[in-house]
Structure 1
Amino acid sequence: MNWGLYAEAPRFEVPDLNNTKIVVENPDHNTIATIKPESSIFIYLSGIFYLLISSIFLFRYFKNLMTISKNIRKSSKVNQSTGYILLTNQFQKYSFSFFNYIIIPKESLLNKKLTNTIIQHELTHVKELHTVDILLIELIKCFYWFNPMIWFIKNEISENHEYMADNNVIKQNTNVSDYIKQILSSIYHSRSGLRSGFSFVTTKNRLNMLTSNNHSTKKKWVRLILAMFLIAFTFSFTSFNPDKSDKDPFIVIIDAGHGGKDPGSPSEKEINLKISKEILNLSQNSNIKIILTRENDEYITLSERISFINNQKADMLLSIHCNNSENITKNGPEGYFSELNNKKAISQKATEILITNQVNKFSKEGSIKSADYKILREINIPGVLLELGYMSNKEDADFLLNPVNQKDIAKNILQSLNEVEKELRK
């Protein structure tokens, strides 16, 4: 980087890897902090724990599906009234429905009254496709088990299913007292959770519904609407794009360093511009409004840049550069802010966010420095000068020249700007 444009500081020339003379800055800056990647052990263990629990839920999910399928295959068809298949199995201890299959214990067939009640109950589950709801919420639970809202939603869905089935049975002139006795006689049986069954764990709520007046219908609909609202809320929260906001846009001026007759380091002016334009591109659907100091390969003086920046009424400046050093082993990003900037505290915080995110994503180390650079000192908004890496270092240069990496860097910077916005709006 040719620091003659950005700083009133001594310069000296050093050869780069291609024997091209490069003017670099005087390295005498005040280093505020050296940033290293955050320890990944917690993230790693958290990921392992999440995968372990999700795997257990998925194993249970598919194991239960196989068990149900096995029960259906081993059962024998005894009736096909109303177009639904009724099966029985001498080893089955409880009734349930799964899609259009209704499993009834053989011992239940001895009591015709009980059999008719069970059929009416299960037919409601079949007709309303309750199995689809159950399979879907159980599958979602395998991946979002950590969200208590999912468990609440699952309970509300299942309870509403049972309410609908019980209500249908009562409409058939079934004696409520007898029906309650049948429910109580079945509560000791267990089931997998993937099927709709006559025996259901929320027995207390069912009994309250059956013994209450008609106002319970209204309450159930209110609970159903609430459950649907919570489902919508959960998924909208999961897919929420933190970039989008109804607030006033956060205006950031991106200064693509150098340009035109001022190339900076080898390939620097091109890298700076490509990343700056990519940030602009990615920001279109966000609350970040990007303004570029240059959109083409053109030369703009330092005074012109500062004048442009101060006339924009922006919230922040980010000047993007690539570094150089006579020490070819020196690498990693560096962030600069000015102690003389009238928004020094915000500038320093923004520098910390940008460098920390760059290091965590792309590098082994980075540093935060204060420097009396004119472009940082004379602007009337917070300002950060970000050195993405050293073009004098082969590893950094190869990384920065890669178009895929340039897009990743732009994405990371935009994410950092979102974090800076949150800090400023506190």
Structure 2
Amino acid sequence: MILIYLLKVSACTLIFFAAYQFFLAKLTFFNLNRIYLLLMLGLSFGIPALTIENRHEIMVSNQEIPSKIAYSNDSVIEQDFVDESSAANNSLNWDQVLMYVYCSVLVFLVFRMLFVMVRIQIQLRKHAIDRSGAVILVNEKSTIKNCSFFNQIIIDSSLQYEEKNLVIKHESVHVKQLHVVDKLLVNFVTAILWFNPIIYFWRNAIDHNHEFLADRETAKVADKKVYASLLLNLAMPAQNFAMNSFSKLPLKNRIMMLYKEPNAKPQKLAYVVIIPVLMICCMAFINRKEIIIERKSAGNQASADTPVKPNVYAMNYLNSNIKVNPNTAFNEVEPVLVIDAGHGGKDDAGSALDGQKEKDLNLRAVKILQEEAEKRGVKVVLTRSTDQFLSLRDRLPTGEATAFISIHHNATQAGAPVPFEGIEVYVSKQNSNIKAAEDLGTGLLSKLKQLNGMEVRDSLKNGSLFLLRESKAPAVLIELGNISDGKTLNYINQEKNIRRISNLILDGFVAFSKRGC
């Protein structure tokens, strides 16, 4: 989610800026400080965008465990959520609301920045009385004066000759060192991170550093007392952040830096602090992904990390007879797996022992399953990819689908015994295509029984649920464990285990899709 990414970026800016304030801000190595501020700003965006893949190789048996079509009826299943509100599909999605608010403010700030730059050009045309190369003289009525804007230096025509030369010298440094590029960059970043208070301090730090650089160069050809006096005489409040103004309030830091003795070169060792700070941000905010690589203990079958696209044959799900080993008369088509993350939005369903909501666990598992499917070249369609409420009918596959799997987690009431803590697979005998659903369900169970660390029900369960009854594609519902059980919850909280389960589910789907019917 983009907002989570931006929060990580904001956390990086906080850490990097704190290091700057504590160790570097008072040093007179202004060029190095400029590099630090710009580089760390870029890294603040880059670090949370990186992902490190942790690959784990596991050995699995090449021999499948057969699964007969059998049913058991001794555990709990969630009931269909019935929405009694007439405005069910209009429920408020706070993720979307926050996204709309964020984007609205972002667009407003970007347009405001563009408007300010256009307004400056209009003001210059209106009040300019003389142009000499990059120097523009403006009359006393102009509110834009004694500053630089891109490669233009704007000077108040009423200044004395010596004063004009000092201002021109100062602003020429801004122009030659391309400070306007820094300002455009940091203003754009400020628009992106408008909710982050640190970015405004960061922008001020870059602005102050520009002035320190220009003051240092100007002081080389001018008397410091005369120059400091001119700074005080021409001081004015900052009007906008699109220009480099010669003198704007407050001036305390600029005057202090003007008279401060340059730091000795050995003090540059202070920049070594960047290394541990960078390591902290990398360890805290670089994303990590667990990748399970399966190796067969016998035979020469391909490993799970090899993207193999299975041969899939056109299926007619209105026909209840399964035809194994299809001949060449079948047309090869792309497999489509529709995956449903149960519940969502106002339908929280159950809660885990640690407070996690089932709807969130379902969505997490579905997204991991989608990632693993993409590695294999299996096309996946999600019924929902965010925390939103969908009616049961809206979850059903509407297009061509090879199979439909709804992902859930079981839960029992507080204090009640847990009848079964492991994985269960449900179908509905009321579905007219029950034979294909049973074939899919038993195939999934056969693969899931290879799982270590969690018990798997050895038979299908019959559930009179809307999704299982009404789906035209072969449909199953998988309960990925009971979140009221501590051991099970600890197991499914580990991403590597969910990826392992996902690969076993995909193994079952691929085997099913190759049969044709």
- Which of 197, 214, 235 aligns to 2:262? It is 214
User: 2:234 matched to 1:186?
Assistant: yes
Pick closer, same or farther for the CA change 1:6–1:158 going to 2, 3 Å: farther
Pick closer, same or farther for the CA change 1:393–1:34 going to 2, 3 Å: closer
Q: Distance in 1 between matches of 2:364 and 2:254?
A: 55
Q: In the alignment, what sits opposite 1:105? A: 156
Q: In the alignment, what sits opposite 1:61? A: 113
Q: Distance in 1 between matches of 2:242 and 2:267?
A: 26
Q: In the alignment, what sits opposite 1:410? A: none
Contact 1:6–1:375 (CA under 8 A) maintained in structure 2: no
Q: In the alignment, what sits opposite 1:407? A: none
Q: In the alignment, what sits opposite 2:70? A: 9
- Which of 127, 130, 134 aligns to 2:183? It is 134
Q: Distance in 1 between matches of 2:385 and 2:128?
A: 60
Pick closer, same or farther for the CA change 1:59–1:222 going to 2, 3 Å: farther
Cα offset, 1:152, TM superposition: 3.6
Q: Give the match's secondary structure for 1:180.
A: helix
Q: Distance in 1 between matches of 2:246 and 2:266?
A: 23
Cα offset, 1:34, TM superposition: 6.9
Q: Distance in 2 between matches of 1:65 and 1:221?
A: 40
Cα offset, 1:131, TM superposition: 1.4
Cα offset, 1:40, TM superposition: 5.0
Correspondence 1:9-408 to 2 at 5 A: 9-10=70-71, 29-31=75-77, 41-76=93-128, 78=130, 80=132, 83-93=133-143, 94-108=145-159, 111-172=160-221, 174-201=222-249, 203-215=251-263, 242-243=287-288, 249-251=290-292, 290=305, 332=340, 353-355=361-363, 358=366, 360-361=384-385, 364=391, 367-369=408-410, 370-371=423-424, 375-376=447-448, 379-382=451-454, 393=470, 397=473
Q: Distance in 1 between matches of 2:453 and 2:261?
A: 66
Deviations 1:28-47 (A, max 9, x none): 7522687899x753213312
Contact 1:57–1:142 (CA under 8 A) maintained in structure 2: yes
Contact 1:35–1:356 (CA under 8 A) maintained in structure 2: no
Letter in 2 for 1:91: K
Unaligned segments of structure 1, at least 5 residues: 11-25, 255-276, 281-288, 299-319, 324-330, 336-344, 401-416
Cα offset, 1:211, TM superposition: 1.9
Pick closer, same or farther for the CA change 1:380–1:201 going to 2, 3 Å: same
Q: Distance in 2 between matches of 1:352 and 1:253?
A: 27
Contact 1:78–1:87 (CA under 8 A) maintained in structure 2: yes
Deviations 1:41-93 (A, max 9, x none): 3213312321332233223212211121112222435352xx53333233124
Q: Give the match's secondary structure for 1:133.
A: helix
Cα offset, 1:357, TM superposition: 5.9
Q: Distance in 1 between matches of 2:75 and 2:157?
A: 86
Letter in 2 for 1:361: S
- What is the count of residue pairs matched by the alignment? 301
Letter in 1 for 2:109: F
Q: Alpha carbon RMSD of aligned pairs, Å? A: 5.4
Q: Give the match's secondary structure for 1:139.
A: helix
Q: Distance in 2 between matches of 1:53 and 1:188?
A: 29
Pick closer, same or farther for the CA change 1:382–1:158 going to 2, 3 Å: farther
Cα offset, 1:360, TM superposition: 4.2
Cα offset, 1:96, TM superposition: 0.8
Q: Distance in 1 between matches of 2:214 and 2:362?
A: 57
Q: In the alignment, what sits opposite 1:285? A: none
Unaligned segments of structure 2, at least 5 residues: 1-64, 83-88, 296-301, 314-334, 344-352, 367-382, 393-405, 411-422, 426-444, 477-490, 499-517
Deviations 1:362-395 (A, max 9, x none): 854664345385654563245889x9x968645x
Q: Distance in 1 between matches of 2:224 and 2:467?
A: 80
Q: Give the match's secondary structure for 2:77.
A: strand
Deviations 1:182-239 (A, max 9, x none): 222233343211011102345222111012112299989978x97xx99xx99x99xx
Greater Cα offset, 206-215 or 181-190? 181-190
Q: Give the match's secondary structure for 1:97.
A: strand
Q: Distance in 2 between matches of 1:292 and 1:47?
A: 35
Q: Distance in 2 between matches of 1:374 and 1:393?
A: 25
Letter in 2 for 1:160: N
Greater Cα offset, 212-221 or 180-189? 212-221
Letter in 2 for 1:127: K
Letter in 1 for 2:242: L
Percent of aligned positions with the same letter in both sequences? 23
Which one has a larger percent helix, Structure 1 or Structure 2?
1
Q: Distance in 1 between matches of 2:115 and 2:163?
A: 30
Q: Distance in 1 between matches of 2:286 and 2:183?
A: 28
Pick closer, same or farther for the CA change 1:45–1:220 going to 2, 3 Å: farther
Q: Distance in 2 between matches of 1:170 and 1:151?
A: 28
Contact 2:341–2:384 (CA under 8 A) maintained in structure 1: no
Q: Distance in 2 between matches of 1:144 and 1:205?
A: 26
Q: Distance in 2 between matches of 1:149 and 1:35?
A: 44
